[in-house]
Amino acid sequence: MEYKDFIPTTELSTKIEKLKQVMKQKEYSAYEIGVMDHVWQRLLIYAEDNPSDKFNEEYRQQFITSVFSEAMESRDSMYRITRAMNMLSDFITFKVIFRQYCTLKTTFSEEFEKGFKGFIASEKLRNLSDNTIKSIFIRLIRFHDYLIDIGIMNFSQITRQALNTYVLSLARYSTTYTSETLRILRKALDFAYKNNYCEESLSDCIPHVKNLRQQKLPNIFTIDEINRILDSVDRNNPIGKRNYAIILMVGKTGLRSSDIRTLKFENIDWDTKTINITQVKTKKYLSLPLLDDVGWAVIDYLKHGRPETECKNIFVSHAYPYGELTTLCSIMPKQMRKAGIKSPVNKRTGMHSFRSSLATRMLEDDIPLTVVSQTLGHADITSTEVYLRISIKQLAKCGLEVEL
């Protein structure tokens, strides 16, 4: 399969029209196509004034910086812009649209179904979490759709060239994502060969990419910023009471968003002032002290903010029928804006940043790494070691004396 890294900007209009046709064939909604096309039309205007023989990554970055500079502080806006540009780049380079999301109706074709579902079933036997299994499914669906789009309809038709091209499509992703994706593909192809879905083992075509965990430093908040964020929460309304308790709990206990969303009444022992859970991510038991200010914030929400609902979780959605919270990702950006704190474009600033802040403060206070790891509920202490990179005090202790 041939591919191009770039085309002249004079060909952009034709490529964009073909891309929109393919999106319609794939049943993208008119709204989704319109959102993407808004970015592409701005690109065409920019290309008229700035023609080039190479519409490549450098040109794309120049376009975004020049035309959408005001949007760079908005995570949501930048996501839409970069997604549109990535989709166009993929279509130009690989002639396919890579799937971004999965729905309940998403499935494999009949020819691939037994092989891929059989592999997923074998992975479930390893007692992996539901989220991990879902991640495997999403990565395989992306690969599956790519194969279908280039005319490969079953395992026996997969070629080394097709695999090489697919590996290239992962180039812009982090090494963590790429490494894990390639590992899954190797195992899936090996499973297909061993179970006679294909006559040739192609797993050796998939390269090994070293997983450089946490290449990017976690974003952390200063004490002043944390206080400003907490002070910005309107605690006179039910949602404000809920969000205040959630933010305070993350900042003081380091609990993950998934554990706070699913926190139930029986998880809090008011007599011993402890929070006792089985973590959603690691499936490991964790017991943490319930600090007074966190406890009172929860009580305030339960008494004066939480709507009446049959949901067993402490924190619930305030939209009828008041069920489980599906995400906490919108809380932090909103409060940061209210507090006048700008969000870095290249870093995530969700609830996980509060976990990072807690870990860093604990290290600065000379709390042992093992204790920090236990507090954060890490299954492996190497997950905690990344925070040494953002603790200046701890880094200073790692300096080596040089003999002169």
The long-range contacts involving 182-189, CB below 8 angstroms and separated by at least 24 positions, are: 182/206, 182/207, 182/208, 182/209, 184/136, 184/139, 184/140, 185/139, 185/140, 185/143, 187/119, 187/123, 188/115, 188/116, 188/119, 188/140, 188/143, 189/158
Catalytic residue among 139, 144, 235, 378: 378
**Contact criterion met (CB below 8 Å) for 218 and 346:** no
**Contact criterion met (CB below 8 Å) for 325 and 313:** yes
User: Do strands 268-269 and 285-289 pair parallel, antiparallel, or not at all (unpaired)?
Assistant: unpaired
Neighbouring CB atoms inside 10 A of 213's CB total: 13
- 338 noted as active-site residue: no
Q: Select from 163, 223, 214 the least CA-distant residue to 384.
A: 214
Burial of 298 (0-12, 13-18, 19+ CB in 10 A): buried
- 306 noted as active-site residue: no
- CA dihedral (283, 288, 294, 295) positive or negative: positive
Q: How far apart are CA 289 and CA 274, in angstroms?
A: 4
Which residue is listed with tokens 């910086």? Answer: 65
- 304 noted as active-site residue: no
Catalytic residue among 15, 142, 352, 389: 352
- 114 noted as active-site residue: no
Catalytic residue among 99, 187, 281, 348: 281
- 387 noted as active-site residue: yes
Q: How far apart are the first and last CA of the chain?
A: 57
Q: Select from 72, 175, 190 the least CA-distant residue to 122.
A: 190
- 355 noted as active-site residue: yes
Q: Select from 228, 229, 258, 249 the least CA-distant residue to 291.
A: 249
Catalytic residue among 95, 252, 261, 355: 355
Catalytic residue among 95, 242, 256, 261: 256
Residues labelled catalytic: 256, 281, 352, 355, 378, 387
